[in-house]
């Protein structure tokens, strides 16, 4: 077993050894239960610092693109979903910064790949991405590297091909979650998490268009507060939020309300991503009075972690399979803030199965006190919908 001792204890560090050191160790033991026990007691401070830097720099690239989006910046993937130069640029930057900060090529499970960019007709698009990546890195001023070539950018993007799984450490990245929101000028997130032995052990959510103050009852898209938020969480250490331009972090907590009449709920902006009818039925059954708050991306998990709303409901159409990068960072941000994330049957999410989540019908999120009533309303509503078909 190797023992590393870091003589720093950052603000968010677990206070197991508050007097001086944060301890981390890596082990070559072959037993998976001893590896899991080691993972549970490890500190991930170094990885968290690298993840915060990677997501913040990627957010700057996305902000730049969102301000001056060109028609040619948007393409369609084979599943017809949109992808932009910012999705690719963000993935390249995160992959590159993790490699640089942690001095090893990351095992990365990420949404995008370079297949389309390697085609002859994408040559101009690839140049534009490389230029964006180099400009953003140079603008940061803290990353010491000579300009990347087109091939370096393709390689960085393709680091994201890892299959994840139950063993070892894997980064999980959605370089832009909510690309449709990004294209509308609305909410989106850069979502980065770390899996260790199949469990999410840290997560970072950069939400460039989310105000620092609560969005409860406000007109989200006309807010004057444009700093953007960075949420981060490490297992056992709570969830913090700071502004994307680097203010001091503050600890956040989910809403503690037990009264559904006081609880507002989040759902996808895009009706094609989640059944608004089913969530409306559930909310009515539960006694929720407020109308749904519809925002794109894992910004929903971030807003919920600081109590802007108390419930998140997500019911994709039948047959849709959820990807781990759409939930891993959001999951730990909410869980460390005291929330509970389960599938529609009440089972915890299992991130150890590879690139996909294997779950029952949908994903629901709330605090511990409201969860039993929410699960009952979900069960009854799904039953009613099924019997009316």
Q: Which is nearer to ligand PPS, 270 or 380 (CB)?
A: 270
Token readout for 129 is: 């991405």
Q: Kindly state whether residue 296 participates in binding Mg ion, applying the rule CB under 5 A.
A: no
* Strands 74-76, 82-84: pairing kind: antiparallel
Question: 291-305: buried (b, 16+ CB within 10 Å) or exposed (e) per residue?
Answer: ebbbbbbbbbbbbbb
Q: Which is nearer to ligand PPS, 182 or 232 (CB)?
A: 182
Q: Are 331 and 303 in contact (CB under 8 A)?
A: no
DSSP state of 133: H
Does 135 participate in catalysis according to the annotation? no
Q: Which is nearer to ligand PPS, 131 or 270 (CB)?
A: 270
Q: Kindly state whether residue 111 participates in binding Mg ion, applying the rule CB under 5 A.
A: yes
Which of these segments, 195-203, 227-235, 262-270, 356-364, binds ligand PPS (CB under 6 A)? 262-270
Consult the annotation and say whether 234 binds a ligand.
no
Does 125 participate in catalysis according to the annotation? no
CA-angle at 16, arms to 11 and 20, nearest 5°: 65
CA distances from 44 to 18, 47, 195, 250, 338 (A): 15, 5, 11, 19, 20
Which position among 45, 99, 326, 343 is part of the footprint of Mg ion (CB under 5 A)?
326
Contacts of 236 (CB under 8 A, 6+ apart): 14, 336
Contacts of 81 (CB under 8 A, 6+ apart): 179
Q: Which is nearer to ligand PPS, 240 or 269 (CB)?
A: 269
For the CB of residue 241, give the shortest distance to Mg ion in the complex, in Å.
21
Which position among 99, 174, 234, 308 is part of the footprint of ligand PPS (CB under 6 A)?
174
Q: Kindly state whether residue 296 participates in binding ligand PPS, applying the rule CB under 6 A.
A: yes
* Strands 265-267, 293-294: pairing kind: parallel
Residues 116-135, interacting with Mg ion (CB under 5 A):
none
Which position among 174, 186, 197, 343 is part of the footprint of Mg ion (CB under 5 A)?
174
Q: Which is nearer to Mg ion, 35 or 314 (CB)?
A: 314
Which position among 99, 112, 326, 336 is part of the footprint of ligand PPS (CB under 6 A)?
326
Signed CA dihedral, 117, 122, 125, 126: sign only: positive
For the CB of residue 67, give the shortest distance to ligand PPS in the complex, in Å.
19
Q: Kindly state whether residue 177 participates in binding Mg ion, applying the rule CB under 5 A.
A: yes
Which one of the listed residues 45, 73, 87, 296 is annotated catalytic? 87
CA distance 145 to 70: 28
Q: Which is nearer to ligand PPS, 91 or 130 (CB)?
A: 91
Which position among 44, 96, 269, 331 is part of the footprint of ligand PPS (CB under 6 A)?
269
Strand partners, 207: 229
Q: Are 181 and 297 in contact (CB under 8 A)?
A: yes
Burial class (CB in 10 A: 0-12, 13-18, 19+), 93: buried
For the CB of residue 295, give the shortest distance to ligand PPS in the complex, in Å.
7
E strand or H helix at 277, and its extent? helix 276-286
**# chain residues binding ligand PPS, by CB under 6 A:** 22
Which of ligand PPS, Mg ion, none interacts with 379 (beta carbon under 5 to 8 A by kind)? Answer: none
Consult the annotation and say whether 262 binds a ligand.
no
Question: 53-73: buried (b, 16+ CB within 10 Å) or exposed (e) per residue?
Answer: bbbbbbbbbbbbbbeebeeeb
Q: Kindly state whether residue 150 participates in binding ligand PPS, applying the rule CB under 6 A.
A: no
Which of ligand PPS, Mg ion, none interacts with 47 (beta carbon under 5 to 8 A by kind)? Answer: none
* Residues near ligand PPS (CB under 6 A): 81, 111, 174, 176-181, 268-270, 272-274, 296-297, 316-317, 320, 323, 326
Binding site members for Mg(2+): 111, 174, 176-177, 326
| Active site members | 87, 179
């Amino acid at each position: 077993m190797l023992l590393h001792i870091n003589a720093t204890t950052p603000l968010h560090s677990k206070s197991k050894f508050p007097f001086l050191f944060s301890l981390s160790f890596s082990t070559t033991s072959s037993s998976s239960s001893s590896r899991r026990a080691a993972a549970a007691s490890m500190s991930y401070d170094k990885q968290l610092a690298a993840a915060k830097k990677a997501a913040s720099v990627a957010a700057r690239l996305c902000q730049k693109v969102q301000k001056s989006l060109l028609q040619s910046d948007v393409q369609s993937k084979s599943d017809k979903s949109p992808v932009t130069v910012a999705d690719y640029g963000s993935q390249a930057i995160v992959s590159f910064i993790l490699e640089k900060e942690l001095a090893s090529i990351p095992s990365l499970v990420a949404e995008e790949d370079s297949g389309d960019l390697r085609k002859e007709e994408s040559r101009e698009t690839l140049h534009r991405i490389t230029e964006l990546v180099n400009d953003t890195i140079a603008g940061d001023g803290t990353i010491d590297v000579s300009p990347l070539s087109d091939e370096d950018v393709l390689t960085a993007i393709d680091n994201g091909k890892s299959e994840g799984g139950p063993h070892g450490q894997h980064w999980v990245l959605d370089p832009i979650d909510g690309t449709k929101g990004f294209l509308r000028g609305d909410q989106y997130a850069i979502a980065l998490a770390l899996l260790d032995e199949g469990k999410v052990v840290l997560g970072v959510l950069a939400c460039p268009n989310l105000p620092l103050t609560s969005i409860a009852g406000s007109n989200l898209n006309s807010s004057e507060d444009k700093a953007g938020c960075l949420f981060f969480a490490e297992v056992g250490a709570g969830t913090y939020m700071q502004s994307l331009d680097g203010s001091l972090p503050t600890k956040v907590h989910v809403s503690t309300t037990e009264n559904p009449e006081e609880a507002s709920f989040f759902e996808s902006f895009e009706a094609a991503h989640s059944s608004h009818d089913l969530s409306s039925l559930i909310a009515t059954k539960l006694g929720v009075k407020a109308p749904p708050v519809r925002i794109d991306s894992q910004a929903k998990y971030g807003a919920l972690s600081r109590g802007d709303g108390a419930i998140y409901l997500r019911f994709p159409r039948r047959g849709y399979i959820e990807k781990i990068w759409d939930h891993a960072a959001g999951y730990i941000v909410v869980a460390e803030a005291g929330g509970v994330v389960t599938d529609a049957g009440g089972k915890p999410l299992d991130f150890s199965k590879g690139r996909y989540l294997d779950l029952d019908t949908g994903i629901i999120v709330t605090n511990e006190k409201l969860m039993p009533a929410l699960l009952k309303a979900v069960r009854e509503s799904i039953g009613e919908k099924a019997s009316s078909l």
